[in-house]
Structure 1
Amino acid sequence: MPNAPWFDLLVKLSPGLLLGAVLVVLLGIYALSTAGTERSLRRDGSVLLPRILIGFWYWLVTPIISGLDRLGVRPNHITLFSLYLAALAAVALGTGYFMVGCWLVIAAASCDLLDGLLARQTDAGSPAGAFLDSFADRIAEGMVFAGIAFYGGGGALTWLALWAMLASVMVSYARARGEGLGADCKVGLMQRPERLLLLILTLFAAPIAAVFLEPGAQRPVFHVAIFGIGLLAALSTVTAVRRAHWIFSTLAGQSHENGAPIVGADEPDEGYTHFEQNAGVAE
């Protein structure tokens, strides 16, 4: 008797599901081992990304740093490798392999964390490296959304992915340009880690849901992906607008206090590069 289509599809998804189960177990171990302790983190948690998840990912990748250093791997090598992984993720997503794309996105995001940790441990940080890291982040994010848009075939998923891509760029650009003009802006929910988490959860859940919502479909619509990417796009847009409003109000207030007009309103966008070179963060 042949297996049901949904069973065969779940078997194909089993490697990704197994990796997910391993991460859940490791998260439990981390939570138990750090219960009652407060770990120092480089950023606070948020509604979407609580401190325990941030600490868990640092805990997971930190042991790799010493090995990479002994092998002579430099931060820029990891940054470029993360771009390669993002390109593979885009191809996987564009051809409908959302579970594979999900894990490739996770791997690329982990590399993005590793390069910064390695730079701090080996004192190899530089303005050039900071710029490369931020520039690579924008390219990687764009490639992933482009892969999703391609798979959408001109339908709702395509347009939502393009909207999410634009909104994500504007969130990053708003902070970069604002800080280039002297306004340190960190307001808004959808910073890059939050966007990555929502994207990863969406890509992980979409093929699983499709097994039951679209059994036997040769080219699933991925309804969960439509919802998740649409939510990501909407929340990122809200964050971009909030940042734009906050930065403009702050700069206008500074201008009023100094008795001078806002500087840079009609200048080209060198502020983006200037900020990233000096601060190394575009979120």
Structure 2
Amino acid sequence: MLENLVAWLTGNLSPSARIWTALAPAILACAYFLGGLLIFCIRCAFKGVPRDEETLKRGSTVLVGFFLRHYFFWVIQPLWAVILRSGLPANALSMLSGLLGISSGVAVAAGRFALGGWLFLAAGILDVMDGRIARTRKEANPAGAALDSVLDRYVDSAMLMGLAWYYRDTWVLLPALGALLGSSLVPYVRAKGEGLGVSVRDGAMQRLERVLFLGVGTALSPILEAVFWPEQKHPMHWLAVVGLVFVAVMSNLTAISRFRNLVKALAPKRQEARSEKAIVGLNAAAGAIATAVDFALVLALVEWMDLLPAWATVLGALLGAVVNYSINRVLTFRSTAAVGRQMVRYAVVSGTSALLNAGGVALLTLHPQLAYTLGWWLVRGVVYFAWNLPLQRDYVFNDTASNNDTLLEQRPHAA
């Protein structure tokens, strides 16, 4: 018995012990939560879904809807009642949540994924309770809210830093860093929006979802490793990898969605002839047509007229630029401003776009493990949405701005 306890504490576990350290808490948790779900469903059938007012205010997401949220807060009521009667201050729960969350990062960095996962989930449950305890006792104050919010960032960062350290010699380091970035930006964009008077709470990957997918995936991952790869000294923990990649992708998509909605809410309103989706579609179609025309001319000049490929490429690029400009002017933006000014601005945007694309691909090719074709597409997509499209809309084909510039040029200068 003592030897097993020492092995558990030092992490020198056999495959079966690794399974049970992950599975034993899971069995207890599953028995409680699945039994609670059955009782909850029976209760809902006779009395309806018990509504949790705070859940209704906070809203739901695609990944975790209202039913599951109401169920969760209903099923943890016994634990919440015990903590409420204990008299523990809400700030003490916040600190305990922070300590458990930081400990989870230390555990996974050392390869103890079951321990780290369950600590992370326990920290998440305590984080749910501290604010409710404070509001129930009418002790809620800005200092407690600030403490809770900052500790949440430390907990998320500690867990993801621990995973990044464990996977530092593998490709999983990249999604770990991506999840760290996304998990930091999601609450930051929301806080920035609230500071500017705009509420941005949308997105599928909020904190409850991050804790759920990352915590469960990490806690249960040793089971698969012990069953299929029992002899590996540094197992991949594939279930944790899946949860980590999912959190990385969805948290960044949530941050981008919030950022886009925030900028859209704060930006001056524009009178568009059509929807933004239609503009993006037509602009992308213009680019595809121009690329096809460019390539066809290069083939024709090289194959039929024996022109050097370099000169053919120059002529093809010029024709593609004219085609792209014409389609965007006539169909996409329906511009009526002076052609000369637009052509100059279009040339500036196209030239800088070429430099950005070339520089981005050059940087990514410094990492030989990344295929240059994938890097090419990644850079193209980023440059298109971050540079080409906004500048074509707001700088090249913006008739209002062009008319204002013309009026400023025509206004007589003061003596």
Task: Provide TM-score, normalisation by structure 1.
Answer: 0.81
User: 2-side partners of 1:8 and 1:201: how far apart?
Assistant: 19
User: 2-side partners of 1:111 and 1:138: how far apart?
Assistant: 15
Which structure 1 residue ranges, 5 or more long, are not aligned? Answer: 257-283
* 1:208 and 2:217 matched: no
Per-residue deviation, 1:189: 1.0
Counterpart of 1:56 in structure 2 is 71
Deviation readout 1:171-223 (Å, 9 max, x if unpaired): 11111101110111122111111111211232134222222332221221112
Q: Tell me, what secondary structure is at the counterpart of 2:169?
A: coil
Counterpart of 2:24 in structure 1 is 15
Change (3 A) 1:96 1:27: farther
* 1:31 and 2:41 matched: yes
What letter corresponds to residue 37 of structure 2 in structure 1?
L
Q: Which deviates more, 113-122 or 203-212?
A: 203-212
Assess if the C-alpha contact under 8 Å between 1:164 and 1:233 holds in 2.
yes
Counterpart of 2:124 in structure 1 is 109
Which structure 2 residue ranges, 5 or more long, are not aligned? Answer: 1-13, 272-415
Match of 1:147 among 148, 162, 165: 162
Counterpart of 1:98 in structure 2 is 113
Counterpart of 1:190 in structure 2 is 205
What letter corresponds to residue 141 of structure 2 in structure 1?
S
Per-residue deviation, 1:92: 1.6
Deviation readout 1:83-108 (Å, 9 max, x if unpaired): 11112211221111212212111110
Assess if the C-alpha contact under 8 Å between 1:156 and 1:226 holds in 2.
no
User: 1-side partners of 2:30 and 2:82: how far apart?
Assistant: 26
Assess if the C-alpha contact under 8 Å between 2:176 and 2:245 holds in 1.
yes
Q: Which has the higher contact order (CA 8 A, sep 6+)?
A: 1
* 1:122 and 2:137 matched: yes
Match of 2:267 among 235, 238, 252: 252
Say which structure is richer in helix.
2
Q: Tell me, what secondary structure is at the counterpart of 1:153?
A: coil
Deviation readout 1:33-56 (Å, 9 max, x if unpaired): 333512223233322112232123
* 1:47 and 2:56 matched: no
Assess if the C-alpha contact under 8 Å between 1:174 and 1:244 holds in 2.
yes
* 1:158 and 2:173 matched: yes
Assess if the C-alpha contact under 8 Å between 1:189 and 1:235 holds in 2.
yes
* 1:239 and 2:254 matched: yes
Deviation readout 1:122-172 (Å, 9 max, x if unpaired): 001001111111111111111111111111133222232121011111111
The higher radius of gyration belongs to: 2
Per-residue deviation, 1:224: 2.5
Per-residue deviation, 1:255: 11
* 1:82 and 2:97 matched: yes
User: 1-side partners of 2:50 and 2:181: how far apart?
Assistant: 35
Per-residue deviation, 1:237: 0.9
Assess if the C-alpha contact under 8 Å between 1:31 and 1:52 holds in 2.
no
Change (3 A) 1:9 1:86: closer
Task: Provide TM-score, normalisation by structure 2.
Answer: 0.57
Per-residue deviation, 1:113: 1.0
Counterpart of 1:265 in structure 2 is none
Q: Tell me, what secondary structure is at the counterpart of 1:238?
A: helix
Alignment of 1:157-176 (within 5 A): 157-176=172-191
Q: Tell me, what secondary structure is at the counterpart of 1:35?
A: helix
Q: Tell me, what secondary structure is at the counterpart of 2:267?
A: helix
Match of 1:179 among 194, 209, 233: 194
Assess if the C-alpha contact under 8 Å between 1:96 and 1:151 holds in 2.
yes
User: 2-side partners of 1:10 and 1:95: how far apart?
Assistant: 17
Per-residue deviation, 1:6: 5.3
Equivalent pairs counted in the alignment come to 252
